[in-house]
Amino acid sequence: MGDDDARTPGAARHRHAHAAPAPTAPDTGADPAADAAPTAAVTGATTARPAASATGSGWGTRSHLLVALLCALLGFAIVVQVRQTNSDELASLRQDDLVRLLDEITLRNDQLETEQAQLTIDRNDLSSGADAQVVAERNAEVQGILAGTIAVEGPGIDLVVREQGRVVPASAWVNLVEELRNAGAEAIEVDGVRVGASTWFADRDGGVVVDGVELTSPVSVRAIGDPQVLEVALGIPGGALATLRTNDAVPQVEARDSLEILSVRDLTAPEVASPAPEQTSSSG
């Protein structure tokens, strides 16, 4: 035992000296702290991207909502402004003026309904194979009245305009004709000249001419249509009669149950316009 004990320290030292060395990483010359830093940096960058993306997406959504809100506010402001303007125009009219406007709109609506009914009858006649000759003659008659190529008679108004030392300009006569047309006049005559689609007025040598014919006071204007509608249209504040009065003229309107317009127009061939080719529907 003594010998064993004596050999034990030496054996222990021998085993310690020959123990297998601990594994070590190959020496690359790199600092471990430096190796860890890029990893941390990459990890941090990877973590930062979703946050930046989320922030950009949130800002884009908020900007879109802001633009939509501004557009809605702008539209609301425009609607309010338009309604306010229309309200102001009507508020400046007197009660009698409003009543006359309402009457004119009602009568004009009735007239449009009558025209619609007539057009419906014509369409049904053509669709049902009715006498094409009758329909063609009726359409030719209507076109002749509107074009001013045939004499006409019917209810309407007789307007006499007396100038008082001042010539009524051509623009006032154009305004008068347009007011009568808008009120549904089917035939108009100014100082013996039948008004048509190509009628023109011009200021010349201290006077006014219509289709080359000089107007002389008192000027007679005849229009065939609903007398009540025509009177209301001309009497609207700021309308045709008011314009004539601002030029020192004295207009006098008389409703007639029957009057004649015997003057006619000579049609000239169009220089530019031509009939469009008929559209044929393709089968299949």
Render pLDDT for 93-103 as a digit per residue (tens, 0 to 9).
777 777 777 77
> What's the pLDDT score for residue 114?
82
- Domain range annotation of the chain: 43-88, 114-261
Give which of 182, 249, 195 is closest to 221, Cα–Cα.
195
> What's the pLDDT score for residue 80?
73
Under the banding of pLDDT at 50, 70 and 90, the label for residue 180 is very high
What's phi and psi for 205, nearest 5 deg? 50, 50
Distance CA 253, CA 231 (A): 8
Asked if pLDDT for residue 203 goes beyond 90, the answer is yes
Cβ neighbours, 10 Å, residue 252: 11
> What's the pLDDT score for residue 215?
95
Residue 36 is encoded by which pair of tokens? Answer: 């860890």
Question: Does the domain at residues 114-261 carry the CATH identifier 3.30.70.1880?
Answer: yes
Sign of the C-alpha dihedral computed for residues 156, 162, 166 and 167 taken in this order = positive
Under the banding of pLDDT at 50, 70 and 90, the label for residue 109 is confident
Distance CA 209, CA 192 (A): 12
Report if pTM > 0.75: no
197 or 252: which leads in pLDDT: 252
> What's the pLDDT score for residue 29?
45
Condensed to tens digits (0 to 9), the pLDDT of residues 3-62 reads 444 444 444 444 444 444 444 444 444 444 444 444 444 444 444 444 445 455 566 677
Helices (H) and strands (E) in the chain, counts: 7, 8
**DSSP character string of 33-57:** HHHHHHHHHHHHHHHHHHHHHHHHH
Spatial neighbors of 199 by CB under 8 A, at least 6 apart, are 177, 193, 210, 211
* DSSP strand pairing (152-162 vs 250-261): antiparallel
Report CA-CA distances (Å) from 218 to 85, 167, 201, 226. Answer: 39, 11, 17, 24
Dihedral in degrees, nearest 10, Cα atoms 240, 241, 244, 246: -100
Amino acid present at 244:
L
